Amino acid sequence: MTRLHVHSVSHGDTETALGLLDAELAPNGIVPGMLFAFYGCGHDDRMLHQYLSARFPHAARMGGSSSGGLMTQDGLKGSNAIGLLMIEDDGDFGVAAAPLGPDPAHTAEQLLLKALASCGCSGELPELIWIYQSPGSEEAVIEGLRRVVGDRCPIVGGSSADDDVSGRWRQLGPDGPMGDGLVVGVLLPSSPLGYAFQGGYEPAGHSGVVTARAGRDILQIDGNPAAAVYNDWIGGRIDAQLSGGAVLAQTTMFPLATDGGRADGVSHYRLIHPEMVTATGGLRTFCNVDIGARVYAMKGDRRRLADRAGGVAEQAAHMLAADRSRIAGALVVFCGACKLALGEEVERVSVAVANQLADTPFIGCFTFGEQGRMLDRNVHGNLMISAVVFSR
Q: The domain containing residue 267 runs over which residues?
A: 202-299
Per-residue pLDDT of 13-71, as tens digits, reads 999 999 999 999 988 889 999 999 999 999 999 999 999 999 999 999 999 999 999 99
User: CA 251, 255, 258: angle at the middle one, nearest 5?
Assistant: 160
| pLDDT number for residue 102 | 98
pTM of the predicted model, to two decimals? 0.95
Instruction: In whole angstroms, give the CA distance from residue 353 to residue 349.
Output: 6
Torsion of CA 204, 210, 212, 214, to 10 degrees: 70
Quick one: DSSP state of residue 241? G
Which one of 267, 299, 331 terminates a domain? 299
Mean pLDDT across the chain: 95
Residue whose C-alpha is closest to residue 4's, from 327, 358, 352 = 327
Do 261 and 159 fall within a single domain?
no
Which one of 299, 334, 357 terminates a domain? 299
User: CA 134, 330, 272: angle at the middle one, nearest 5?
Assistant: 40
Rounded percentage of the chain residues whose pLDDT exceeds 70: 98
Per-residue pLDDT of 263-303, as tens digits, reads 766 778 999 999 999 999 999 999 999 999 999 999 999 98
Do 210 and 291 fall within a single domain?
yes
Q: How far apart are the first and last CA of the chain?
A: 5
| pLDDT number for residue 264 | 67
Structurally, how many domains does the chain consist of? Answer: 2
Do 184 and 328 fall within a single domain?
yes
Q: pLDDT tier at 189 (50, 70, 90 boundaries)?
A: very high
Q: pLDDT tier at 322 (50, 70, 90 boundaries)?
A: low
Per-residue pLDDT of 203-261, as tens digits, reads 999 999 999 999 999 999 999 999 999 999 999 999 999 999 999 999 999 999 999 88
The predicted model gives 90-112 an average pLDDT of 98
Residue-by-residue DSSP string for 348-387? HHHHHHHHHTTT--EEEEEESSEEEEETTEEEEESSEEEE
Do 254 and 208 fall within a single domain?
yes
| pLDDT number for residue 323 | 63
| pLDDT number for residue 326 | 86
Which one of 270, 299, 328 terminates a domain? 299
